[in-house]
């Protein structure tokens, strides 16, 4: 696993923000944040980040792995991690410790609090590491680009075998198999293959239903490669598409291109979303667009910023986001087109290399 350089630098960035938040330390246990700050990929770990030190607590299953992946201090706990974390906090005489409220279970919080000295308090700190993660460094952008390329290649290889009569599940299995063969660790999320009227379900799971001639198929897939996600949606049509399909497809494609066109540093994410809705409205399809226009992605498939109606964030260079308007018409089907793009200094670059033509099979 080629680690992204700069874990020490990332930890320093967090460490230098402790004083401003009146914290003696920050406790991080959410695994994408742990990976971001240390490179650790295990499922059980807690990082105690101090102004000039960092200790990763994990269990004996990760003894070898942690030492290979991590360049800060590692403590292997014999029992529950929180006992060792609490003991270290006591020994270091830490008073105010930041923690991630949306990422810590009530159980862990209560057990830890019960074991801390009376004068020590846990302070909720929300979204700090996630905010740092929004801007991708050049090596991270490179990893996302590779994940996107693997994903698109897997799509091409699997779709070459798609035909009428094939089960949704079988196409999904083929897509995931190809993805792994091409270097992905796993799919970044459950692959969506939905045929015919089922394509109108934005989050359909593949079933034993067969893809029938004269029907639409939505394929929404993403790879996770070296920890980084990709995300793409493309549409297939089994046969020659009728006028209504062509017109609806054109509307969604126009909306997607218009939204991508607005992506540049300083633009609000709500503005990008509005652009997609404006185009769909001109086709009388805005009510059929039932989700937001996109989301950030990186170590997680969904991470900030969100690109929706009510979002307040502004785009910055280095963010990687999806642009994925869609329309969903009951009884007819759904059409969504999704690319992964990176915000550059002057606009954006579409990373997804796959053609956006409606693919006829
Ligand atoms: Zn997707
Ligand atoms: Zn997406």
Give per-residue pLDDT as tens, 141-184.
Answer: 999 999 999 999 999 999 999 999 999 999 999 999 999 999 99
The structure's pTM equals 0.95
Give the E-state strand segments of the chain in sequence order.
25-28, 45-50, 53-58, 73-76, 96-99, 121-124, 186-187, 192-195, 216-221, 223-225, 228-229, 232-237, 294-296, 303-307, 320-323, 326-329, 333-336, 339-343, 348-350, 359-360
pLDDT at 5 over 90: no
pLDDT digits (tens, 9 = 90+) for 97-143: 999 999 999 999 999 999 999 999 999 999 999 999 999 999 999 99
Average the pLDDT over 199-213 and give the result. 94
Residue 322 Cα to ligand 1 midpoint, Å, equals 8
Q: What is the pLDDT of residue 2?
A: 41
Rounded-to-integer distance, Cα 197 and Cα 146, Å: 33
Residue 201 Cα to ligand 1 midpoint, Å, equals 13
Query: What are the structural domains of the chain?
Result: 4-133 (3.40.350.10), 138-360 (3.90.230.10)
Percentage with pLDDT > 70 across the chain: 99
Rounded to a whole number, what is the largest CA-CA distance in the chain? 72
pLDDT digits (tens, 9 = 90+) for 301-343: 999 999 999 999 999 999 999 999 999 999 999 999 999 999 9
pLDDT digits (tens, 9 = 90+) for 247-270: 999 999 999 999 999 999 999 999
Average the pLDDT over 211-238 and give the result. 97
Q: What is the pLDDT of residue 253?
A: 98
Residue 82 Cα to ligand 2 midpoint, Å, equals 35
Among all ligands shown, which has an atom nearest to the Cα of 222?
1
Residue 328 Cα to ligand 1 midpoint, Å, equals 15
Q: What is the pLDDT of residue 309?
A: 94
Residue 31 Cα to ligand 2 midpoint, Å, equals 21
Residue 92 Cα to ligand 1 midpoint, Å, equals 45
pLDDT tier at 4, thresholds 50, 70, 90 = very low
Residue 252 Cα to ligand 1 midpoint, Å, equals 15
pLDDT at 3 over 90: no
Residue 29 Cα to ligand 2 midpoint, Å, equals 25
Among all ligands shown, which has an atom nearest to the Cα of 307?
2
Residue 23 exposed, middle or buried by CB count within 10 Å (0-12, 13-18, 19+): buried
Residue 110 Cα to ligand 2 midpoint, Å, equals 35
pLDDT digits (tens, 9 = 90+) for 291-308: 999 999 999 999 999 999
Residue 234 Cα to ligand 1 midpoint, Å, equals 9
pLDDT digits (tens, 9 = 90+) for 234-248: 999 999 999 999 999
Residue 322 Cα to ligand 2 midpoint, Å, equals 6
Residue 160 Cα to ligand 2 midpoint, Å, equals 23
Residue 10 Cα to ligand 1 midpoint, Å, equals 29
| Bridge partners (DSSP) listed for residue 235 | 218
Region for 318 from its dihedrals, namely left if φ exceeds 0, alpha if ψ lies in -120 to 50, beta otherwise:
left
Among all ligands shown, which has an atom nearest to the Cα of 341?
2
Residue 77 Cα to ligand 1 midpoint, Å, equals 39
Q: What is the pLDDT of residue 70?
A: 96
């Amino acid at each position: 696993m080629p680690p992204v350089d700069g874990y020490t630098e990332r930890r320093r960035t967090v460490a230098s923000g402790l004083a401003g938040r009146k914290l003696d330390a920050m406790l991080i246990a959410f695994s994408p944040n742990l990976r971001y700050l240390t490179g650790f990929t295990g499922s059980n770990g807690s990082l105690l980040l101090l102004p000039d030190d960092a200790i990763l607590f994990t269990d004996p299953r990760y003894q070898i792995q942690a030492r290979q992946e991590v360049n800060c201090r590692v403590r292997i706990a014999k029992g529950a991690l929180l006992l060792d974390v609490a003991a270290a906090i006591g020994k270091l005489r830490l008073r105010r410790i930041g923690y991630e409220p949306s990422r810590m279970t009530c159980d862990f919080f209560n057990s830890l609090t019960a074991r801390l000295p009376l004068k020590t308090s846990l302070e909720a700190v929300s979204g700090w590491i996630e905010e740092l993660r929004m801007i991708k460094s050049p090596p991270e952008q490179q990893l996302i680009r590779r994940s996107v390329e693997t994903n698109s290649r897997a799509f091409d290889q699997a779709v070459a075998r798609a035909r009428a009569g094939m089960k949704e599940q079988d196409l999904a299995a083929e897509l995931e198999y190809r993805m792994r063969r091409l270097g992905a660790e796993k799919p970044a999320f459950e692959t969506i293959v939905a045929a015919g009227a089922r394509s109108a379900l934005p989050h359909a799971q593949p079933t034993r239903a067969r893809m029938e001639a004269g029907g639409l198929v939505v394929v929404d897939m993403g790879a996770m490669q070296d920890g980084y996600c990709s995300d793409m949606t493309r549409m297939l049509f089994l046969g020659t598409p009728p006028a209504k399909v062509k017109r609806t497809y054109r509307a969604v494609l126009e909306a997607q291109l218009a939204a991508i066109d607005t992506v540049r540093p300083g633009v609000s994410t709500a503005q990008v979303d509005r652009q997609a809705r404006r185009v769909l409205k001109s086709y009388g399809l805005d009510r059929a667009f039932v989700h937001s226009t996109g989301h950030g992605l990186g170590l997680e498939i969904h991470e900030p910023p969100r690109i929706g109606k009510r979002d307040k964030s502004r785009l910055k260079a280095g963010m990687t986001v999806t642009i994925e308007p869609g329309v969903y018409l009951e009884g007819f089907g759904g059409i969504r087109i999704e690319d992964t793009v990176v915000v550059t200094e002057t606009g954006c670059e579409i990373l997804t290399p796959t053609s956006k033509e409606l693919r006829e099979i």
